[in-house]
Chain A
Amino acid sequence: DTGVSQDPRHKITKRGQNVTFRCDPISEHNRLYWYRQTLGQGPEFLTYFQNEAQLEKSRLLSDRFSAERPKGSFSTLEIQRTEQGDSAMYLCASLGGAGGPYNEQFFGPGTRLTVL
């Protein structure tokens, strides 16, 4: 499968624990985006990378959240000291080429986080 993959698909954790998610984009894509989706809402942008550089972060990304893309390939999103409000689907998407207004972002299957 040459699409975007995410791991794990599901994560249940207790409040206060740290969690880390991984995203593997389509191999030739240089841009990688993280979104968060809560129940009944559309996905909301969190952050994005062009190669290994993190170019934009949303105000949603509190200091408990950190994202990396160390070699410009896979990315990790870590949440420290999880709170119940962090429960959501975390989606990763990749975009290839020079971007452009109608280039398609391809989404991974998401990681569903439940914080107890």
Chain B
Amino acid sequence: RKEVEQDPGPFNVPEGATVAFNCTYSNSASQSFFWYRQDCRKEPKLLMSVYSSGNEDGRFTAQLNRASQYISLLIRDSKLSDSATYLCVVNSDTDKLIFGTGTRLQVFP
């Protein structure tokens, strides 16, 4: 079983739609969590950290459920520029990052 599991998609949604991505992790001792965004053939970039209380950044909302070892990302009012791969990431105790396979999002006009 992979340490971080995501639905690879692709998710094809129209502009303006709301889309949600889910992720599960296997190590219950994990302490910190992130969503990274990766554009085609580019490096991953931090989209947002995920805190226990949940957090929001503009159109993006991240939630963490420690009991279920589940992380989610909600994107509201999707834009064409949101098209990318979204990587669910868990931090280890040595700060090495453990990535899911990524969920591909394609927003169409």
Contacts and interface: CB of A to CB of B under 8 A. Distances in A.
A103 interface: yes
Given A101-B31, A102-B49, A56 B96 contact: yes
Interface string A101-115: 111110111101000
B57 interface: no
Interface in B72-97: 87, 89, 91, 94-97
B99 interface: yes
Interface stretch (A12-20, A39-47, A63-71, A79-87): A39-47
Q: Which 8 A-B pairs have the closest CB atoms?
A: A42-B99, A101-B32, A107-B43, A45-B96, A99-B95, A101-B31, A43-B99, A42-B101
Contact of B98 (A45, A101, A109): A45
A40 B95 contact: no
Contacts, number: 56
Contact of B43 (A31, A33, A48, A108): A108
A-side interface size class: 20 to 34
Contact of B32 (A41, A102, A110, A112): A102
Nearest to A112: B41
Interface string B25-47: 00000011000000001111110
How extensive is the interface on chain B, given as a class?
A: 20 to 34
Given A102-B49, A108-B43, A55 B91 contact: no
Interface of B: 4, 8, 31-32, 41-46, 49, 87, 89, 91, 94-102
A46 B32 CA distance: 20
Nearest to A42: B99
Contacts of A101: 31-32, 91
